[in-house]
Structure 1
């Protein structure tokens, strides 16, 4: 029966991936319905994670309508055009920091056109900076103070009495993921130089498209920033600082607020909703326009996806918790790094860092995985690049009209896989290093 139910889970995930977009969430709900028909009691819905995602997204959408995203993209544009030789390093730094600040990797959409154009202007194959930038935007979720994955992970570690809190989690996750991104960029640059395939004009597909006249040479976009653009970014940053400050004050390690009025989850939700309200008032943002913002649409789509797949994952895992614990406890206790492999493979199917964390991390701690190992393996929930179906991957392929960023006919031979695997492996390795003396 367990095998049949697992087959239902896989079928639902693959069906959702085939539909694409928000359909993954729909398929997750369908999978829960089928499991219930087979006698499985549905697990708890991830409403806490969904609430955090929604509150953060509305704040970001308000900032976007106020012009804040245009201001950040314009800033990124100036940085990249001023230092084109370092594009492969700077592009992932920008997407990493934007995702870390915003708590969602969908901010990478706005920077991809800039990365592509700067690469073309400087005879650099766009596939390299684009691929590392996309991977960086994914792994930065595990370093973001306001991402649903980080907040849930911190709450789980604290509720299980591991002695690890929100501050320690970020103290390990931020440096380990950022260093991994930088090392990945350096490795891929060296790899390209050794193979001699860094120059764009040597790529056969680019040559073919140039001859056919299908490659566009866009002029630098002159953005007219709205009056409240800079103010909206400042207000959002104040909210981010407020979240981190409150989380620090209520931390058991700091102990300045022994009995907080609000738990961390509620504080993040209320602060982000408040930030959205302040941006609307101060920057005179029409609330109706927020509903049409691209970040709002993609964020709410992500929320539905997490709702469906996380609910599906927790339903199956909770139904067979004892069997999973019996079969996996010895392996993971003997080889704790194997948890990273499990999380990476699961995230490729569950399509979300938050959903993967919600579905598997509680069981990992239950079967005896130490908190230091769990924190070290945490970045592995970002392996969304394995299957080339994630929106940011597809967007990178579509935006690169030079043809250097392509998905091969064997599906897995795409430019995101190698840098993604290297990035995850390095982040987990650095995670074990940092957690050894910080936890």
Structure 2
């Protein structure tokens, strides 16, 4: 047991040091260094690297990066801004809904960065505290991320749980309605809870944020860019259709056995197809794709999954450690299952990254026999990443609010509220579906 605790401690320290040193990329690199220690010093047999999950993240990043390089993301942000500005009085509900839709479709929470100035400006002009829609939107972006078929965290979870029979359809049957209902509960919370103050448009709101409005006046988006956006969203729609309706998935007869095309292969095929369409429609320099924010984020997420995922497979897959997990720790969890919720939340607070946390915790939960649907019901605990203010969307929201009412700590109480609500709703839906 002592050696096992020591190994886990080294793992956690390596991940924290990596995140503090170089973000998601550092997380992966330092985890590989810890892997070296486990093999050469502790004598653990190397586990299986999460190659499938890494490939999924890679082609999602390439497809999203291609869309961003063509200007498709800018076009979507323009459309979102028009919807948000059209309903200023209901911005606490409209803004999170738009953010949810865009994060779900694109697969990155950072698209909220482009929408936050619009949300802050619209709220201020409507006399509403910017703090309220900003908090609701930032937290909603995280909720939506774990639902998106184009998100690296979602792809990793589904790929890892595929061996347990979890399909995209089964995953979304719990996670998607949970996130939507939690989003509505969060908007209600931000509407009624807290001290309300009337906000008057100040010089900051009228002059500084008006620069954004001027940039958004009648921008020109070529027809090819719009077709590229349609191609990407069509790809996401196809992934959803084949993921939900498994009877539509192609099957093959190989050596007398019927083999069905895997969900991970379906995601890969349609993401690359959408990227190909964008490349045909808009001539690009490949460096623009590789340097895009979405591709760079995907590369970071790739290392954040590869390093901790491989390290976790080595530590928790070792025979002696597996025995401890199933017999001793598993016995405790069996009697007090809610401890898993606290454990995942604590790891998320430290690690911050959804993908990295999933790569650490999923092997543990699977090794101690936690049912996969139990994890799906509590999957939003991977979003307890607002305690340590390190998220770009959170920090940008703080900077945008010229009333100074939005602070880094303003997200903690609403954050725990929506996570708690999501857990209650998630287990309720799981029970209703009989999963």
Structure 1-normalised TM-score? Answer: 0.85
Q: Is 1:98 matched with 2:102?
A: yes
1:43 to 42, 47, 63: 47
How much does 1:402 deviate?
Answer: 4.3
1:23 aligns with 2:22: no
What is the distance in 1 between the residues matched to 2:393 and 2:310?
23
The aligned counterpart of 2:255 is none
Pick one of 6, 24, 28 that aligns with 2:8: 6
What's the offset of the Cα at 1:306? 2.8
Q: Decide which of 80, 83, 90 is 2:87's aligned counterpart.
A: 83
Q: Using the alignment, how far apart are the partners of 1:359 and 1:160 within structure 2?
A: 18
State the alpha-carbon separation in 1 of the partners of residues 57 and 327 from structure 2. Answer: 34
- Please give the secondary structure, in 2, of the residue aligned with 1:385: coil
Q: Deviations over 1:213-263 (max 9, x none)?
A: 999343313233233232121101111122123334546xx8884844532
Unaligned runs of 5+ in 2: 253-257
How many angstroms apart in 1 are the aligned matches of 2:297 and 2:154?
Answer: 20
Change (3 A) 1:151 1:25: closer
Q: Where does residue 157 of structure 2 map in the other structure? A: 153
The match for 2:238 is 242
Q: After TM superposition, give the deviation of residue 421 of structure 1 in Å.
A: 1.3
Q: Name 1:127's counterpart in structure 2.
A: 131
Correspondence 1:219-298 to 2 at 5 A: 219=211, 220=213, 221-222=215-216, 223-250=219-246, 257=251, 259-260=258-259, 262-298=261-297
Matched-pair contact (CA < 8 Å) for 1:343–1:380: yes
Give the deviation of 1:200 after TM superposition.
4.2
Residues 1:142 and 1:127: Cα distance change in structure 2 (over 3 Å): same
Distance in 1 between the 2:250 and 2:294 partners? 36
**Counterpart of 2:305?**
306
Compared CA separation, residues 255 and 242, structure 1 to 2 (3 A): closer
TM-fit CA distance, 1:14: 2.7
Q: Call closer, same or farther: CA 1:431–1:30 in 2, change over 3 Å.
A: same
Secondary structure of the residue aligned to 2:389 is coil
Structure 1 residues 301 and 200 mapped into 2: Cα distance closer, same or farther (>3 Å)?
A: farther
- Corresponding residue of 1:410: none
d(CA) in 2 for partners of 1:151 and 1:14? 23
Q: Matches of 2:367 and 2:65 in 1, distance apart?
A: 38
Q: CA deviation at 1:176?
A: 0.6
Q: Mapping of 1:178-189 within 5 angstroms? A: 178-189=180-191
User: Structure 1: 5+ residue runs without aligned partners?
Assistant: 408-413
Structure 2 CA distance, aligned partners of 1:332 and 1:92? 35
Query: Matches of residues 350-361 of structure 1 in structure 2 within 5 Å?
Result: 350-361=351-362
Structure 2 CA distance for aligned equivalents of residues 104 and 430 of structure 1 = 24
Matched-pair contact (CA < 8 Å) for 2:304–2:355: no
Contact 1:317 1:360 in 2 (8 A): no
1:411: which partner in 2?
A: none
2:208 pairs, out of 211, 216, 230, with 216
Preserved CA contact (<8 Å) 2:235 2:270:
yes
Aligned-pair CA distance for 1:120: 3.0
Cα distance in 2 for partners of 1:382, 1:425 equals 11
* Distance in 1 (alpha carbons) for counterparts of 2:410 and 2:311: 30
**Is 1:49–1:354's contact at 8 Å kept on the other side of the alignment?**
no
Which stretch of structure 1 is more off in the superposition, 107-116 or 172-181?
A: 107-116
Q: CA–CA distance in 1 between the matches of 2:405 and 2:298? A: 28
Cα deviation, residue 167, structure 1: 0.9
* Kept in 1: contact 2:167–2:263 (CA 8 A): no
Aligned equivalents of 2:379, 2:98: Cα separation in 1: 22
Change (3 A) 1:117 1:70: same
Distance 1:215 1:29 in 2: 49
- Which SS does the other structure have where 1:143 is aligned? coil
The DSSP-based 3-state class of the residue aligned with 1:374 is helix
Residues 343 and 381 of structure 1 are in contact (CA less than 8 Å); yes or no, is this contact kept in structure 2?
A: yes
Supply the distance in 1 between the matched residues of 2:206 and 2:18 (Cα, whole angstroms).
33
Task: Say if 2:152 and 2:301, in contact at 8 Å, map to a contact too.
Answer: no
Cα distance per residue 1:92-144 (max 9 Å; x no partner): 22222212112222222221222222233333333332222122111222211
Contact 2:325 2:367 in 1 (8 A): no
Q: 2:251, 2:260 within 8 Å by CA — same for their partners in 1?
A: no
Q: How big is the shift at 1:190?
A: 0.9
Report the more deviating stretch, 168-177 or 332-341: 332-341
For residues 7 and 220 of structure 2, the distance between their equivalents in structure 1, rounded to whole angstroms, comes to: 54
Shift of 1:155: 4.3
Aligned with residue 413 of structure 2, among 418, 428, 432: 418
Query: Matched residues in 1 for 2:325 and 2:269: separation?
Result: 37
Contact 2:225 2:281 in 1 (8 A): no
Q: Are the structure 2 counterparts of residues 421 and 316 from structure 1 closer, same or farther at C-alpha, using a change threshold of 3 Å?
A: farther
**Hey, what's the Cα distance between the residues in 2 that align with 1:392 and 1:217?**
17
